[in-house]
Structure 1
Amino acid sequence: MKRDVIGRDAEATRRRLLDAATREFAAYGIAGSRVDRIATDARSNKAQIYHYFGSKDGLFDAVFDAMCRETVDAVPIDPDDLPEYAGRLHDSYVERPWVQRLATWYRLERAGSAALLPVVVDSNTAKVRAIAAAQEAGRLPTRFSAPELLGLVLHLSGFWSANIPEYEVVVADGSAAHRREVVVAAVAALLRG
């Protein structure tokens, strides 16, 4: 019984550290984040961060891996309805705005230097295969290769979160519903192309 309580406490501490690190990394990136702030926010200490994750980079990798797994699980691809898939991805970014911020920090600070995350590679590989199969069956156009089409859909789904504040000034309707409509319509137009 005591071992079970210790295991639950350890998992609760690990979860608090991941949650606090998600907030910290989304706000400050990897270089700007501080392990002492993460530990304080998690009601823990720096030693626990190093115990569970090895380093600040290891903690970021754990945060990013968890975020990717949650996204992959929450928003499975439907190659027969890529516009709606893009809309659901957009919805997930609205509901979890830290996702796009973490992805931006990852691209800025880790691109080329980090080991590839298997969950992302596996997910993208499966998505490309699903799109390629739909193309081969004639359900999707072949104007773009399967990897190119996936990339375009992914980028269109995150279009709104990738813009600078000065662009927001000229947008007439900034509602999430309207933005979702634009994403869905853009992917549909891409497929009609």
Structure 2
Amino acid sequence: MAYDSSATRARLLEAAHGEFVTHGLAGARVERVAKAAPANKQAIYAYFGSKDDLFDAVLDARLKILADVAPFTPGDLSAYAGALFDAFIADPDLIRLTQWKTLERPEASPGELEAHRSKAQAIADAYGADLEAAMDALMIALSAAQAWLATPPAIRNPRQADETTRRRRHRAAVVAATAAMAEQLPAATD
């Protein structure tokens, strides 16, 4: 049987994703990644260099997914926020990994910056808004879409038995709040 290095690398990335979602960078163990892959622990160092570099590779792959997970509608920021909400409900690991990234690597990577800048510019163009305000609006829309999953169950309404109704109501609030914010974006100054 021929050795397939791309398959090993892919297995390591997938296993590392699970490890980092569960434990974050500080709590992750390369031994567990290697065992889950299954691969030799030395393969991690050969392909990625270090646990930190492996975390960066996982983040890079997952942040690309996050950047494209919802249809981006620069002229309708509220639709984008609603689509993000739906994507996060479908794959809560995206948020969990993003939360670990925020805790352990608060600085934005060059890829993140570029993705955010291009979207903010598209929003600014669509709304005739100031670029800085468009960036703020984009970040608020992202945060609003994630808020439901970040709300601890104890804070949620304990009398609400129907989780589907609560999610629908929360999604509507995200969309309405984002729409109201977009209407108030300050105009660009030339």
Q: TM-score range by the shorter chain?
A: 0.7 to 0.9
Q: Structure 1 residues 108 and 45 mapped into 2: Cα distance closer, same or farther (>3 Å)?
A: same
Alpha-carbon shift at residue 95 of structure 1 (Å): 1.8
Q: Distance in 2 between matches of 1:111 and 1:80?
A: 29
Q: Distance in 1 between matches of 2:113 and 2:53?
A: 18
Give deviations 1:130-162, integer Å, cap 9, x for gaps: 1111222xxx7x7x8111111111111111122
Q: How many residues align?
A: 180
Structure 2 counterpart of 1:95: 90
Q: Distance in 1 between matches of 2:15 and 2:139?
A: 30
Q: Does 1:49 align with 2:48?
A: no
CA RMSD, Structure 1 to Structure 2 (Å): 2.2
Partner AA of 1:190 in structure 2: M
2:141 to 131, 153, 172: 153
Q: Does 1:182 align with 2:177?
A: no
Tell me if the contact between 2:75 and 2:127 (Cα under 8 Å) persists in the aligned partners: no
Question: TM-score, normalization: structure 2?
Answer: 0.85
Q: Distance in 2 between matches of 1:177 and 1:21?
A: 33
Tell me if the contact between 1:22 and 1:98 (Cα under 8 Å) persists in the aligned partners: no
Give deviations 1:54-98, integer Å, cap 9, x for gaps: 100101000000001112233242111111111111122122211
Q: Distance in 1 between matches of 2:7 and 2:159?
A: 42
Runs of 4+ aligned structure 1 residues displaced above 4 Å come to: none
Unaligned 5+ segments in structure 2 are: 185-190
Unaligned 5+ segments in structure 1 are: none
Q: Identity across aligned pairs (percent)?
A: 41
